[in-house]
Amino acid sequence: MHFPDKHHLNSASGWLELGNTAEALAEMEKLSSAGRVQIEALEVSWKIFAAQQRWEEAAGIGREMVRAAPAITDGWINRSFALHELRRTAEARSELLPAAEKFPQEPIVPYNLACYACQLGDMEAARRWFSEAVKRGGKRKIKAMGLDDPDLLPMKEEIQKL
């Protein structure tokens, strides 16, 4: 990314860190057409829309992220998270499933799949995906996340016993 796009992206990131999503979005709008489709810009745009709970836009940015950089997990995770927030959990799960095999070391993919399965009432799949997340990410970290996650509330007693 070239100047001045880099400057606007840095400014947008700063505004976002300060919690001012309106100013962050204003900085993003100053990016050139080429700058807006760079993966770094897409990541910041997703964070802005997520912070504003504009999930339809966030899902669209997630799709663009997967198209622009399919080898980066964030796009896959972000797209499905936004779909889940839109209450399109079955779609979120089906969109994220290929990432479980594509990113065999990433714990957040199976963790999110466990959340989606749990919310869809597929407890067997939820347990299987949660176990995979623990294997990839470590018991302490994944257990702590799971105990605080409302999507996994139906599994809370099982998670506490880990």
Which pLDDT tens digit goes with each residue over 56-74?
A: 999 999 999 999 999 999 9
Which of 110, 99, 112 has its CA nearest to residue 151?
A: 112
Domain annotation covers residue 28: yes
| Inter-axis angle of helices 55-68 and 39-51, nearest 10 | 160
| Distance of alpha carbon 154 from alpha carbon 151, whole angstroms | 8
Do 19 and 50 meet the contact criterion of CB atoms below 8 Å apart?
A: no
Q: Give me the number of domains the chain comprises.
A: 1
Domain annotation covers residue 140: no
Tokens 């997967």 belong to: 66
Domain residues for the domain of 1 are: 1-51
The tokens of 65 are what? 């992220």
Domain annotation covers residue 132: no
pTM: predicted TM-score of the whole model, two decimal places? 0.95
Which pLDDT tens digit goes with each residue over 93-125?
A: 999 999 999 999 999 999 999 999 999 999 999
